């Protein structure tokens, strides 16, 4: 049980995009952090500078330039739906440009009036990733913290050629962050070490908030597994291995490898009754042999419930994979590359089934013949029992903010 704060604060988190409902790893991480703060008794407002495509159709029809959603007790999200920000976001995505345009507008103080009012009202301000910098104004002296999901410059280095052009610029932005914020909440030791090298070490605590999840978000009604498998056309005796992710370059590369495996091993997969479920925006909805892609979905949780194991085929990236923690919270046994479990205490053979891309067939043989489904379920429950303290975002957030007197 996470204790309530003795002196609840008004906390404002600035996000470049709408967070709820959470359907990407970044959404899950941010959503978990603000939910944890709200459950500690703080009054939390997420201000998102741009919405999702359907939000603008509603805004055009009904006229409001913003939407406000009550997420849970003490937690609201306001999404700015002004067409200027929305149009810039759409153009940047179409042209494959990172959110440097957003950084520039915020850095210059060109933000909506309602955001300025929220800044004036807040006791504590959080910037969600370095794309949302400190905004000049009378609120500059307030406690202002950076929530770092990854080292963004490293992600840009691994992105498309157009995005790689911004990697050096982002490295300068992140290098300057320790001197601009009251403190930074990194998600891994390597990120913490980077910020420590570039900042005034005595003043920074750099409390780590790992990529945990809210276990309550992964509970589903009885019958969900059967319903989703029926919708997908997956038989009861088939094994369904889920690979969840967004259109992030390492995910797309892993997906290409998985597609090739499905093509070359089609007869094997059919004989072993194996299906792969590609969940999320990394692929449009389609079917291709043993591979079923859903496209973007409103909620990933029902699809996790339909799966027999969580697959993490990632071989490069930065930070930790939120999908891994989602698999654990859903009590799915994990089949992962060694790189895929970076930033965790999971041990191969004890907590997960390890493989490298060239050894996927052997991993499938081990999974389908090593234990029964019931035994794998019991295995996953035991793994969660061992690691839940380091995977539960509420525990992680409470431990991190306890190091900062501004939150007490």
Give strand pairing partners of 10: 43
34 and 181 assigned to the same domain: yes
Question: Which of helix, strand or coil describes residue 46?
Answer: strand
Q: Is residue 177 part of a domain?
A: yes
Per-residue confidence (pLDDT) for residue 345, from 0 to 100 = 87
52 and 116 assigned to the same domain: yes
Q: How many residues can be counted in the chain?
A: 408
pLDDT above 70: residue 133: yes
Band of pLDDT at residue 10, cut at 50, 70 and 90: very high
150 and 257 assigned to the same domain: no
State the Cα–Cα distance between residues 4 and 382, nearest whole angstrom.
29
230-258, pLDDT tens digit by residue?
A: 999 999 999 999 999 888 888 999 999 99
CA distances 267 to 196, 264, 292, 397, Å, are: 52, 8, 16, 47
Per-residue confidence (pLDDT) for residue 59, from 0 to 100 = 56
φ, ψ at 213 (rounded to 5°): -135, 165
φ, ψ at 295 (rounded to 5°): 75, -170
Q: Is residue 3 part of a domain?
A: no
151 and 287 assigned to the same domain: no
281-306, pLDDT tens digit by residue?
A: 899 999 999 999 999 888 899 999 99
Stretch 32-38: mean pLDDT, rounded?
A: 96
Band of pLDDT at residue 332, cut at 50, 70 and 90: very high
How many domains are contained in the chain?
2
148 and 42 assigned to the same domain: yes
Instruction: Write down the mean pLDDT value for the chain.
Output: 92
Q: Which residue range forms the structural domain that includes residue 314?
A: 220-388
Q: Is residue 47 part of a domain?
A: yes
374-384, pLDDT tens digit by residue?
A: 999 999 999 99
CATH number, domain of 290, equals 3.40.50.2000
Q: Is residue 5 part of a domain?
A: no
Q: Is residue 171 part of a domain?
A: yes
159 and 248 assigned to the same domain: no
Stretch 36-41: mean pLDDT, rounded?
A: 97
Stretch 226-231: mean pLDDT, rounded?
A: 97
Stretch 390-394: mean pLDDT, rounded?
A: 92
Q: Is residue 152 part of a domain?
A: yes
46 and 192 assigned to the same domain: yes
Q: Is residue 46 part of a domain?
A: yes
Q: Residue 108 has which token pair?
A: 């210059």
331 and 298 assigned to the same domain: yes
Q: Is residue 2 part of a domain?
A: no
Min mean pLDDT across 59-68, 118-127, 270-279, 348-357 is at 59-68
The model's pTM:
0.86
Contact 277, 303 (CB under 8 A): yes
State the Cα–Cα distance between residues 183 and 204, nearest whole angstrom.
6
Share of the chain above pLDDT 70, in %: 96
193-212, pLDDT tens digit by residue?
A: 999 999 876 679 999 998 88
pLDDT above 80: residue 319: no
279 and 210 assigned to the same domain: no
DSSP 5: P
345 and 327 assigned to the same domain: yes
Share of the chain above pLDDT 90, in %: 76
20 and 80 assigned to the same domain: yes
86 and 158 assigned to the same domain: yes
Stretch 154-170: mean pLDDT, rounded?
A: 92
């Amino acid at each position: 049980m996470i204790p309530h704060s003795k002196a609840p604060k008004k906390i404002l988190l600035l996000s470049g995009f709408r967070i709820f409902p959470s359907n990407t790893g970044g959404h899950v991480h941010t959503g978990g952090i603000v939910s944890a703060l709200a459950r500690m008794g703080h009054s939390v407002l997420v201000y998102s500078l741009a919405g999702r495509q359907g939000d603008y159709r509603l805004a055009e029809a009904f006229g409001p330039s913003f939407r406000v959603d009550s997420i849970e007790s003490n937690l609201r999200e306001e999404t700015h739906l002004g067409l200027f920000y929305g149009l810039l976001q759409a153009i940047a995505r179409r042209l494959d440009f990172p959110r440097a345009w957003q950084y520039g507008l915020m850095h210059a103080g060109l933000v909506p009036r309602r955001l300025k009012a929220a800044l004036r009202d807040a006791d504590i301000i959080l910037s969600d990733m370095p794309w949302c910098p400190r905004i000049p104004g009378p609120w500059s002296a307030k406690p202002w913290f950076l929530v770092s999901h990854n080292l963004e410059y490293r992600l840009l280095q691994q992105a498309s050629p157009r995005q790689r052009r911004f990697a050096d610029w982002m490295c300068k932005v992140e290098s300057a962050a320790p001197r601009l914020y009251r403190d930074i909440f990194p998600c891994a030791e390597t990120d913490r070490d980077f910020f420590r090298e570039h900042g005034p070490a005595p003043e920074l605590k750099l409390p780590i908030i790992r990529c945990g999840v809210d276990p309550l978000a992964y509970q589903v009604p009885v019958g969900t597994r059967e319903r989703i498998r029926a919708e997908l056309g997956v038989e009861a005796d088939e094994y369904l291995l889920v690979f969840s992710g967004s259109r992030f370059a390492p995910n797309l590369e892993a997906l290409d490898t998985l597609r090739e495996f499905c093509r070359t091993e089609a007869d094997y997969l059919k004989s072993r009754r194996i299906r792969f479920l590609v969940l999320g925006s990394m692929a449009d909805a389609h079917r291709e042999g043993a591979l079923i892609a859903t496209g973007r979905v409103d909620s990933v949780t029902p699809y996790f419930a339909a799966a027999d194991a969580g697959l993490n085929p990632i071989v490069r990236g930065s930070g930790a994979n939120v999908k891994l923690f989602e698999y654990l919270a859903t009590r799915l046994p994990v089949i992962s590359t060694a790189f895929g479990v970076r930033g965790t205490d999971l041990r191969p053979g004890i907590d997960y089934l390890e493989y490298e891309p060239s050894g996927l067939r052997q991993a499938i043989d081990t999974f389908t013949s090593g234990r029964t489904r019931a035994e794998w379920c019991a295995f996953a429950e035991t793994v969660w029992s061992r690691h839940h303290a380091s995977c539960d975002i509420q525990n992680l957030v409470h431990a991190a903010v306890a190091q900062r007197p501004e939150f007490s």
